[in-house]
Amino acid sequence: MTLSRRHWCYALLASGGLGVTAWAAMAPVDAESKEQVFEIPKGTWAQRMSGDAVEILPEEIRLTLGVRDVLVLKNSDDVPQMFGPTLMMPGQSFRLPFDMPSEYQFACTAHASGQMTIIVEAFPSTPWARLRWRVLELMKPGHLRKQEST
């Protein structure tokens, strides 16, 4: 009994899918930079004071130890901004490295709610954890826009 071309195509697609899944689970996890950078654009404070609901920072930022575990905030606005206990003057950046998985809450004047949550996850050391990490990275808002712009 011979398989039809359609069955061969299905078998080829299935084996390709299994190969990609196996790679995603087994390949080491790394990133081009350990920094996750967010910028507070010029004019943010003025827009807020005029009543605009400006959303420049996400409600929650996810970082991964050993991959991307340094948060960088750049203040390009005309006024100082507070992040936790740190005052960032116009043109300044604030770099915050993390070394422990946890959920952190910070007061943040650049965020509409005045609060920001940073979730730092453990390094994805098992195959299932690497697969989950890669799927979550693909699902991040703006991921496709980053790919299109490069």
The predicted model scores a pTM of: 0.67
Structure confidence by residue, pLDDT tens digits, 51-103: 887 777 888 888 988 888 899 999 999 999 888 889 999 999 999 999 999 99
Cα-based angle 40, 81, 39 (whole degrees, multiple of 5): 15
Question: Residue 71: helix, strand or coil by DSSP?
Answer: strand
Q: Report the C-alpha gap between 86 and 73 in whole angstroms.
A: 11
147 pLDDT band, cuts 50/70/90, is very low
Mean pLDDT of the chain: 79
Structural domains of the chain, with CATH: 29-149 (2.60.40.420)
What is the model's pLDDT at position 29?
A: 60
